[in-house]
Structure 1
Amino acid sequence: MKGKILIVDDAAFMRMMLKDTLKKNGYEDIIEGADGEIAVQTYKAEKPDLVIMDITMPNKNGLDALKEIKAYDSNAKIVMCSAMGQESMVVEAIRSGAKDFIVKPFKADRVLKTVEGIIG
């Protein structure tokens, strides 16, 4: 078992692509959420080893969810995803405690390198 990962993105297609990449590389325990509100609730209930979360989502965006999760658990490991051109949001995410960020559209090797660097 390589650790529990929570994937949060409002686009089901992006969640599926991330999940497929991770599963092909031995990460089996994967939970999904569609927005920041679900991310916070799921984090508290499931205590995943890593969260991979989109920044732009309905109900609660990824930055707000990141801050709420970090307030709840300062040791939470969170990687943000964002499309090109959102540099200011990425900087805010890192300042707010994100471990790293992945630019969309992401490359499988970049995702794996990031995940392995954080949870092995």
Structure 2
Amino acid sequence: MANILIVDDAKFMRMTLTNILQNGSHKVVGEAENGRQAVEMYESTHPDLVTMDITMPEMNGIEALKRIIGLFPEAKIIMCSAMGQQKMVLEAIETGAKDFIVKPFDENRVLEAISRVLG
């Protein structure tokens, strides 16, 4: 069981991921709706893993990824992207993201990615 921080500006997406993670016996330790909140919550919850949306207001997922990795090089972050964001996904992986999952979320794919990253 892993402690996971979910970062997405859409409440529906956070709820969907929460359900998938709980079905996979993981614990959601926090939800953030933008990158700024993500950095603050990472510092206070120190999760085992973060699912990070790319496109968000205030601070996007790439910027939040850079800040978190800068502060905590051991952070395990999986990016969540919509179709057509390959360039941003590539930048995220080069910056230190461990994997990515594509929306709409496939439960098996999400849980496989988490197992692989935590593996």
Q: TM-score category by the smaller chain?
A: over 0.9
The code of the aligned residue for 1:86 comes to Q
Counterpart residue number, 1:36? 35
Mind listing any 5+ residue stretches in structure 2 that lack a counterpart?
none
Moved over 4 A (4+): none
CA offsets, 1:53-96, max 9 Å, x none?
10000000000000000000111000000100011000000000
TM-score (norm: length of structure 2): 0.97
SS in 2 for 1:60: coil
1:102 aligns with 2:108: no
In structure 2, C-alpha distance between the alignment counterparts of 1:64 and 1:104, rounded to whole Å: 20
Give 1:3 deviation, angstroms. Answer: 1.8
- Percent identical across equivalent pairs? 53
Q: Answer yes or no: is the 8 Å Cα contact 1:19–1:30 preserved in 2.
A: no
Q: Could you say which residue in structure 1 is the equivalent of 2:113? A: 114
Match of 2:77 in 1: 78
Matched, 1:8 2:7: yes
CA distance in 2, matches of 1:25, 1:91: 27
Aligned length: 119
Which residue pairs with 1:68 in the alignment?
A: 67
**RMSD across aligned positions (CA):** 0.9
Unaligned 5+ runs, structure 1: none
Contact between 2:6 and 2:28, CA under 8 Å: does it hold in 1?
Answer: no
Give the whole-Å Cα distance in 1 for the aligned partners of 2:8 and 2:59.
Answer: 11
Cα distance in 2, alignment partners of residues 15 and 30 from structure 1 = 12
CA distance in 2, matches of 1:101, 1:25: 18
Secondary structure, counterpart of 2:27 in structure 1: coil
